[in-house]
Amino acid sequence: MLTHFINRGNKSTKLGFGEGLLEAAILNERVVAIGADITASVGVDLFASRFPERFISLGIAEQNCVGVAAGLALSGKIPVFATYGVFSALRTTDQIRVSLCYNRLHAVIGGAHAGVSVGPDGATHQALEDIAVMRVMPNMTVLSPCDATQARLATMAAIQQCRGPVYIRFGREAMPDFTSVEMGFQIGLAQLVHEGSDIAIIATGHMIWEALQAAYELEKEGIHARVLNIHTIKPLDETAVVIAAKECGVLVTAEEHQVAGGLGSAVSEVISKQYPVPIEFIGMNDRFGESGTPHELMQKFGLTSGDIIKGCRKALGKKK
Amino acid sequence: MCYTLTNDLEKLGLLARAIRQSVVRSLAEAGSGHLGGSLGSADIFTTLYFSVIRHTPDEPLWPGRDRFILSIGHIAPVLYATLAEAGYFRKEELLSLRKLGSRLQGHPGRDHQLPGLELSAGSLGQGLSVSVGMALALKMDRLDNRVYCLCGDGELQEGSVWEAAMSAAHHKLNNLTVIIDRNSLQIDGSTEKVMALEPLKKKWEAFGWQALECDGHDFRSLLPAFNKARMELLHPSVIIAKTVMGKGIASIEGDYRWHGKAPTKEQAVAFLRELEGGIQNIEH
Ligand SMILES: [Mg+2]
């Protein structure tokens, strides 16, 4: 068994994003950031106060923000633009498709307020379709880190290592911070965070913590669940997914996103072609979120460790 | 070395005619594409590439170049014809327009490696935002390259254009000049009938721009407008260039049905003869 992960304290992935942006900006003066009014709410305030001359305020005009990012990228800058994912990925989809992706420009688009864990703001502000829309864009890289520490590393990697457009999603609520810098972060390489070969839980974002809790519970019953952290939705680590299917024989995916088009779909696309095994999906099922506390909403929509355990039992029942 | 620019009106006239001829030839060969706007903006392109923009056709990525962004990707044929005329590639290649494997995509695509092309574009309302980003980056780096962006008038119905307009004025991008191909037409007919744009000059002024009007077919009217834009210290400039769709071919001038149409080969022969003034044989 690998590390037994412990929560060092709750921290939002949005803060991790803000710290990663600041750190990358200290290392590379080409990094510039675009603000669409809600900079503090998406973690960009750290950068803006440190580098006011490299911060570009464009107001509540997300379509323009993406186009401007394209122009900056064409002129030698590494632009980072973050706002709520419902706006940065969805309102601007055409700009991302043509100005960024078709032009293969290195810009980092941050999508905050991912998932229902946004809480009381309700459905309009809970990004649940961003992974689906971003991952179908040619040339796009899609990152979905699992905690604040990983969000920081992912953001730095998106800025320093990528050559094309990157979408990185992160949450609002302070959630367990449990990964370490030593674990590293390599785009496109899934992380094995819990060993086991009875079943594999393939998860992303906040659901990694829930998946780990589920695995620890199942362990007590003698069920050894593998947990794969898919922090990179695209390019998906197909090898890790197929090996999990082969070695475990049954899969459960877990995400704070619509199952349709999200991680569940991405994993299905791979295994249905390369190594079909029974699969269960934990995620949003073709519906909008609503108001409530993050915890209440995760429960209501079946996104807790308990729901993952239920999913595992159901999946194990189908195992040949 | 920077391309030698000219203010010689006769020379410019000949260049514009050659560009129009290339447009007709390439569209007839392609069998589809947008003739009306391509002919209508030919004098603007001529002014830009032969009188205004600093550029080096033999070194397309020269860092000292001014940037030209075509926001209305559908008039790609006139951009291609102009780039070929300026020497970025051979004119023969214009006949590959819209064909499989061509560097001359129906709407400009950088993936296809055409020298001189700054941006893949075709979805309306995005070019100005990209131009704003370029102008911001140049200012940040204290470089004096200028950014030129050509927009259609119908395109101004896209809300994102006005987001970009607001941001250019807010950031005092006097290194940015937008040219509007004001032919007052779009696919469905008159812009004023489809969705009125007037009072257009006042709109831009209200958004904080220096707004200039000129005759988009008269170099003596176009050149001073570009000069005035270059002299402006505080505001981005917009040149509303009044044009006639299909300019140069009497039978199609001002006819919106030629917005998205290519001439047949027979029509092209007649069009080329008309452009040539009926003097020369138009075979190539
Ligand atoms: Mg028009």
CATH classification of the domain holding A213: 3.40.50.920
A254 with A294, same domain: the answer is yes
Statement to judge: residues A28 and A128 lie in one domain: yes
pLDDT score at B123: 97
Residues A304 and A210 in one domain: yes
Question: In this structure, are strands A225-229 and B185-186 parallel, antiparallel, or unpaired?
Answer: unpaired
Q: Output the pLDDT for position B284.
A: 37
Closest Cα in chain A to B118: A74
Q: Same structural domain for residues A112 and A201?
A: no
Residue whose tokens read 């969805």: A90
Residue A126 in domain? yes
* Beta bridge mates, A192: A228
> How far out from the chain centre does Cα A295 lie?
19
- Considering the domain boundaries, does residue A152 fall inside one? yes
Q: Which residues of chain B have pLDDT under 70?
A: 1-2, 278-284
End residue of a domain, out of A153, A176, A199: A176
- Tell me what pLDDT residue A303 has: 98
For B113, the token pair is 């490696």
Quick one: tokens of B130? Answer: 């990209």
Q: Flag whether residue B118 sits within 8 Å of chain A, measured between CB atoms.
A: yes
**Residue B276: per-residue pLDDT:** 92
For residue A312, give every residue at least 6 positions away whose Cβ sits within 8 Å of its Cβ, in sequence order, or none: A199, A201, A214, A218, A223, A225, A252, A280
User: What b/e sequence results for A167-203 when a residue is b if at least 16 CB atoms lie within 10 Å of its CB, and e otherwise?
Assistant: bbbbbbbbbbbbbeeeeebebeebbebbebebbbbbb
The answer to whether residue A1 is domain-embedded is no
* Spatial CA neighbour of A312 closest among A201, A203, A186, A195: A201
Sort A301 into a burial class: Cβ within 10 Å, 0-12 / 13-18 / 19+: buried
Looking at residue A319, its pLDDT comes to 87
* Residues of chain A positioned with their CB less than 8 A from the CB of B163: 58-59, 61, 63-64
**A4, A23, A163, B58 from A155: Cα distances, Å:** 25, 9, 14, 39
Q: B203: which 2 tokens?
A: 């709109």
For B111-169, the DSSP string reads: GG--TT------STT-HHHHHHHHHHHHHHTT----EEEEEESGGGGSHHHHHHHHHHH
Identify whether residues A94 and A53 lie together within a single domain.
Answer: yes
* C-alpha distance from A288 to closest chain B C-alpha (Å): 27
| C-alpha–C-alpha distance, residues B40 and A1, integer Å | 71
State residue B283's pLDDT score: 39
Q: In which domain, by residue range, is A292 found?
A: 191-316
Residue type, A130: D
**CATH-assigned architecture of domain B9-276:** 3-Layer(aba) Sandwich (3.40)
**Strand-pair category, A78-84 with A31-35:** parallel
Check if A212 contacts B (Cβ < 8 Å): no
Alpha-carbon distance A73 to nearest alpha carbon in chain B (angstroms): 8
Tell whether A58 and A144 lie within a shared domain: yes
Give the integer Cα–Cα distance in Å for A95 and B5.
34
Chain B contact present for A61, CB below 8 A: yes
Query: Which pLDDT value is given to residue B278?
Result: 43
Q: Tell which of A176, A206, A238 closes a domain.
A: A176
Residue B2 is predicted with a pLDDT of 67
On chain B, the residues whose CB falls within 8 A of the CB of A56 are 136, 171
- For position A140, which CATH number holds? 3.40.50.970
Task: Name the nearest CA neighbour of B121 among B107, B111, B134.
Answer: B107
Cα separation of A17 and B170, whole Å? 28
The verdict on A141 touching B (C-beta cutoff 8 Å) is no
* A52, part of any domain: yes
> Do A140 and A187 contact (CB within 8 A), yes or no?
no
**CA B80 – ligand 1 centroid, Å:** 19
pLDDT at site B179: 98
- Same domain assignment for residues A130 and A201: no
Query: Torsion over CA of B29, B31, B37 and B42, rounded to 10 degrees?
Result: 0
C-alpha radius of gyration, chain B, whole number = 18
Q: What sign does the CA torsion over A241, A243, A244, A246 have?
A: positive
Domain boundaries along the sequence of chain B: 9-276
Tokens at residue B207, please?
């958004």
ipTM over the 0.95 cut-off? yes
Q: How far apart are CA B271 and CA B127, in angstroms?
A: 31
pLDDT tens for chain A, 320 residues long, are 567 999 999 999 999 999 999 999 999 999 999 999 999 999 999 999 999 999 999 999 999 999 999 999 999 999 999 999 999 999 999 999 999 999 999 999 999 999 999 999 999 999 999 999 999 999 999 999 999 999 999 999 999 999 999 999 999 999 999 999 999 999 999 999 999 999 999 999 999 999 999 999 999 999 999 999 999 999 999 999 999 999 999 999 999 999 999 999 999 999 999 999 999 999 999 999 999 999 999 999 999 999 999 999 999 999 88
- CB of A52 within 8 Å of a chain B CB? The answer is no
The number of folded domains in chain A is 2
Query: Roughly how many angstroms between the first and final C-alpha of chain B, as a whole number?
Result: 31
pLDDT score of A3: 78
DSSP states of chain A as a string?
---------EE-HHHHHHHHHHHHHHH-TTEEEEE-S-TGGGTTHHHHHH-GGGEEE--S-HHHHHHHHHHHHHTT-EEEEEEEHIIIIIITHHHIIIIIIITT---EEEEESBSGGG-TT-GGG-B-SHHHHHHTSTT-EEE--SSHHHHHHHHHHHHHT-SS-EEEE--SS-EE----GGG---TT--EEEE--SSEEEEE-TTHHHHHHHHHHHHHHTT--EEEEE--EEES--HHHHHHHHHHHS-EEEEEEEESTTSHHHHHHHHHHHH----EEEEEE-S----SS-HHHHHHHTT-SHHHHHHHHHHHHHT--
SS3 B96: helix
A93's CB contacts (< 8 A; 6+ apart) are: A133
Q: Minimal Cα distance from B159: which residue of A?
A: A63
Based on the domain organization, do A154 and A87 belong to the same domain?
A: yes
pLDDT of residue B3: 76
Q: What are B129's two structure tokens?
A: 């935002």
Residue A264 included in any domain: yes
d(CA A139, CA A262): 17
β pairing state of B67-70 and B147-152: parallel
End position of a domain, from candidates A143, A176, A209: A176
Evaluate the CA torsion angle B136, B138, B142, B147 in order and state its sign.
negative
Partner residue facing B123 (CB), from A64, A77, A98:
A98
| One domain, residues A219 and A269 | yes
Distance, first Cα to last Cα, chain A: 25
Same-domain status, A195 and A171 = no
For residue B212, the distance in angstroms to the closest alpha carbon of chain A comes to 24
